[in-house]
Amino acid sequence: MNPQSKIYIPGHRGMAGSAIKRNLESKGYHNIITRTHSELDLTNQQTVNNFFETQRPEYVFLAAAKVGGILANSTYPAEFIYDNLMIEANVIHAAYNYGVKKLLFLGSSCIYPRLAPQPLKESYLLTGELEVTNEAYAVAKIAGIRMCKHYNQQYGTNFISVMPTNLYGPCDNYNLETSHVMAALIRKFHEAKMNDELQVVVWGTGAPRREFLHVDDMADACVYLMENYDASDVGEFVNIGVGEDVTIRDLAGLIRDIVGYEGEIVYDTTKPDGTPQKLLDVSRLRKLGWEARISLEDGIKQAYEWYQVKTKPI
């Protein structure tokens, strides 16, 4: 890519897509194409084809997806598999049809088997049963990875896939029904502090371990890989993470301290824990020359500051 390259970011208003846009702009890329959902429905093949035919993007960062936490995935599995399959199939196929030079597909660490050895190596894909609470989303993301692989194989395209770990940061979703654990806990502790509540309820036992990557680090890795990694290089996709994890119990304690909440944390063990552990092996990424820079504590502080600004009453 160069500063004049025509770059399209499906999902530019989401947490991942907006971070990629910020990162590109900070590095001098300004020929960036964006469309909102109302302007371009990515689940509609004809409208996607029309868009690619008229706009002819050279590079694509496919960040658009229907995402959510355990509750959302368990409640709307049909929507999670349908919407994500349609989005990735339409965009990837149009990228091939209209000569996109390079595409980056954003997957998710939930693609790995529920009980795969830790840390999760890229080679563990499809070696065991998926976590039932997010199976629909995972199956769709696996299809996207394999679609890129097979288009490269048959058509000689340069479509790469990356697998970020759990993301947090600016533009995260703080709706308690659809959010991931980090955003949900930040909101819960903040509201409990504001309302002088005596306790905060956290789903599950607190024992599962999770790895968290600040979305700005994720974006920097994506742009770095787009510039330095090709589909013909090692492996069909690359994990993006920090290589360290934390228990949900320790995460809750850290967020409580950053928010300044002094009440009790109660664990609702009737609610599901999800996968016991999801720690990515990031050795492939490090060999390619990239490592995360934002610490978990600093990242949570930034995320909480953003949340306070965005939720402050007018």
- Sort strands 264-268 and 199-203 into parallel, antiparallel or unpaired: parallel
Catalytic, out of 8, 29, 59, 137: 137
Based on the residue annotation, tell me whether 8 is a catalytic residue of this protein: no
Catalytic residues: 137
